[in-house]
C-alpha cells in the first residue's frame, strides 16, 4: 500500500527525520491560508498523488505570493496528472501540500528497500538526488552506495557514519545523516514498510539536512496489525478494480487485455496468463482467489472481474488442493444466476473433487465450456472473444 508525500513526511518526522514545515490543502482557498499560516516569502505547492515524476508533469509549483499559491492550487485541483509512472490515464489531484520554500545547496538520494536476494533491508544512497533511482542507476551508476542491514543487529551507528562519509558529508552533517538513517530504518522496521525513499534529501543553506520529498509503501499483508497505517489508504489513487478486490480480500492486479482470469495460486495465475498470451490473447487481470475458496468468494471474484468493462470472456482455472472443485463449480453457477452473466465462461478444473465439480457444471444446463487442459482452456477463451468486424 502506498501513501502520500505529506503522510510519509508526518510518519518520518515522528521518528526524528527533519522535514520542511507545510500543510495539507483541499481547496485553493485553504492552500492560500496554508501559505499565510506558514509565513515567509515563497512556497512550493505539490500535487499529492501516488506517483513519482510530479515535477516534470507540472505537479510541483514554486510560488512567491499567496495569490500565486491560490492560482496554482486552482489549476491543479481535479486535474488528471500524467507522469511517466501513472500511464496515459494519469491520477486525479484531490489534495495539495503547501510547503515553505527551501534554500537548496545540495541534493542527495536515500532509499530503504527489501533485497529479496539477501533477505535483508538494503540501503541505497547517492550523492546525486532529485532523479528517479532508475535514472540514477542508468546515468551515474558509480554514485550509488549500497549497504545491507543485518536484522539481528539493526543499523549500527558505524555503518551509518560510513555511508555518510561515502556521500561526501563533513562535520555536523555526518551526525545529522546518522540520525536520518537510523530514523528511517526504525520507521521501516516498526511499521512493516516495503520501501522508504527520501528524494531529494537536501542540504540547505544553513548546512542542515531536510527531507524535501518522501515516499513510503507498506506490506499489505501486515496492515491488520498496523491500523494507523491502514487508515492512510486513499482509494482515489487506486485502480477501482484493485480497490474492489482488496475490499473482498482478493489478490488482484488489473491489466489491459479482455480475458478475465479467476485462478487459485499465484504461480498458476502467472502460467495461465502466459498460456493466454501464447494462444494469441491478452489477460485482463491477475486474480488469485486463494485457498479454501467458498462459492460466495468465487461469486465475489466474478464481480471483481466484471467490474472491468473490457472483459469479454472469463477463464476460471483451478487446480484444487486446499480448494475443492465442487465449491468452485457451485460458485460459478451462483455467479451466473446472481449476476445475470452473459459473457462466455471457460472453466478448467483439476484436483480435489474434480468429478463432483464437473457434474455440477454439466447439471446446471449453463453454456459453460469445460476443457480438460490449460492449453485447451486458453485456446477456448481466445476463440470465444468477439471477432473484429471485417473491413
Q: Tell me if 179 is assigned to a ligand binding site.
A: no
| Residue of 16, 112, 31 lying closest to 72 (CA atoms) | 31
Q: Tell me if 256 is assigned to a ligand binding site.
A: no
Q: Tell me if 323 is assigned to a ligand binding site.
A: no
Write phi, then psi, for 47 (nearest 5 degrees).
Answer: -65, 135
Half-sphere exposure of 15 (CA within 13 A, CB side): 22
> How many whole angstroms separate alpha carbon 127 and alpha carbon 129?
6
Please name every residue paired with 108 in a beta bridge, in sequence order, or none if there are none: 201
> How many whole angstroms separate alpha carbon 244 and alpha carbon 305?
10
Q: Tell me if 107 is assigned to a ligand binding site.
A: yes
Q: Tell me if 356 is assigned to a ligand binding site.
A: no
Sheet with 96-100: list strands edge to edge: 22-25, 96-100, 43-47, 60-63
Q: Tell me if 102 is assigned to a ligand binding site.
A: yes
Q: Tell me if 241 is assigned to a ligand binding site.
A: no
Contacts of residues 60-63 at CB distance under 8 Å and 24 or more positions apart, as own/partner, are: 62/101, 63/35
> How many whole angstroms separate alpha carbon 235 and alpha carbon 266?
24
The number of residues in the chain equals 391
| Residue of 292, 337, 280, 343 lying closest to 315 (CA atoms) | 343
Which residue is it, cell 489531484? 93
Q: Tell me if 46 is assigned to a ligand binding site.
A: yes
Supply 209's cell numbers: 539536512
Q: Tell me if 75 is assigned to a ligand binding site.
A: no
In terms of phi and psi (left: phi > 0; alpha: psi -120 to 50; beta: otherwise), the region of 62 is: beta
> How many whole angstroms separate alpha carbon 2 and alpha carbon 237?
9
Question: What Rg do the C-alpha atoms of the chain give, in angstroms?
Answer: 25
Q: Tell me if 51 is assigned to a ligand binding site.
A: no
Query: β-strands 209-211, 214-218: how paired?
Result: unpaired
> How many whole angstroms separate alpha carbon 129 and alpha carbon 139?
12
Active-site residue list: 109, 197
Known binding positions: 46, 53-55, 99, 102, 107, 199, 213, 264
Known binding positions for substrate: 264
Known binding positions for ATP: 46, 53-55, 99, 102, 107
Known binding positions for Mg(2+): 199, 213
Amino acid at each position: 500500500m502506498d501513501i502520500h508525500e505529506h503522510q510519509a513526511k508526518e510518519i518520518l518526522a515522528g521518528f526524528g527525520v527533519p522535514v520542511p514545515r507545510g500543510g495539507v490543502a483541499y481547496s485553493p482557498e485553504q492552500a492560500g491560508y496554508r501559505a499565510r499560516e506558514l509565513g515567509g516569502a515563497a512556497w512550493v505547492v505539490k500535487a499529492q498523488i501516488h506517483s513519482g515524476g510530479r515535477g516534470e508533469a507540472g505537479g510541483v509549483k514554486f510560488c512567491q505570493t499567496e495569490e500565486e499559491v491560490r492560482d496554482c492550487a486552482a489549476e491543479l485541483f481535479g486535474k488528471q496528472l500524467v507522469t511517466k509512472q501513472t500511464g496515459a490515464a494519469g491520477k486525479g489531484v484531490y489534495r495539495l501540500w503547501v510547503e515553505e520554500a527551501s534554500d537548496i545547496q545540495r541534493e542527495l538520494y536515500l532509499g530503504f528497500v527489501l533485497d529479496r536476494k539477501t533477505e535483508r533491508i538494503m540501503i541505497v544512497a547517492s550523492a546525486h538526488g532529485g532523479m528517479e533511482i532508475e535514472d540514477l542507476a542508468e546515468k551515474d551508476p558509480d554514485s550509488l552506495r549500497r549497504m545491507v542491514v543485518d536484522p539481528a543487529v539493526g543499523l549500527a551507528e558505524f555503518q551509518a557514519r560510513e555511508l555518510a562519509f561515502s556521500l561526501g558529508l563533513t562535520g555536523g552533517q555526518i551526525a545529522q545523516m546518522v540520525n536520518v538513517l537510523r530514523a528511517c530504518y526504525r520507521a521501516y522496521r516498526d511499521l512493516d514498510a516495503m520501501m522508504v525513499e527520501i528524494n531529494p534529501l537536501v542540504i540547505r543553506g544553513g548546512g542542515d539536512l531536510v527531507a524535501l520529498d518522501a515516499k513510503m509503501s507498506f506490506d499489505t499483508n501486515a496492515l491488520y496489525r498496523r491500523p494507523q497505517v491502514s487508515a492512510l489508504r486513499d482509494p482515489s489513487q487506486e485502480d477501482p478494480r484493485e480497490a474492489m478486490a482488496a475490499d473482498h480480500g482478493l489478490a488482484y492486479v488489473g491489466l489491459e487485455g479482455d480475458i478475465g482470469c479467476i485462478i487459485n495460486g499465484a504461480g498458476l495465475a502467472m502460467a495461465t496468463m502466459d498460456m493466454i498470451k501464447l494462444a494469441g490473447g491478452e489477460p485482463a487481470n491477475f486474480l488469485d482467489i486463494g485457498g479454501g475458496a467458498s462459492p460466495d468468494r468465487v461469486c465475489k471474484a466474478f464481480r471483481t472481474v466484471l467490474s472491468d468493462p473490457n472483459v469479454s470472456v472469463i477463464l476460471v482455472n483451478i487446480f484444487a488442493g486446499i480448494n475443492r472443485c465442487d465449491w468452485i463449480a457451485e460458485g460459478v453457477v451462483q455467479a451466473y444466476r446472481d449476476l445475470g452473466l452473459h459473457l462466455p465462461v471457460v472453466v478448467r478444473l483439476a484436483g480435489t473433487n474434480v468429478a463432483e465439480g464437473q457434474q455440477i457444471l454439466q447439471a446446471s444446463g449453463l453454456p459453460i465450456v469445460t476443457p480438460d487442459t490449460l492449453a485447451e482452456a486458453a485456446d477456448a477463451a481466445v476463440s470465444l472473444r468477439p471477432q473484429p468486424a471485417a473491413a
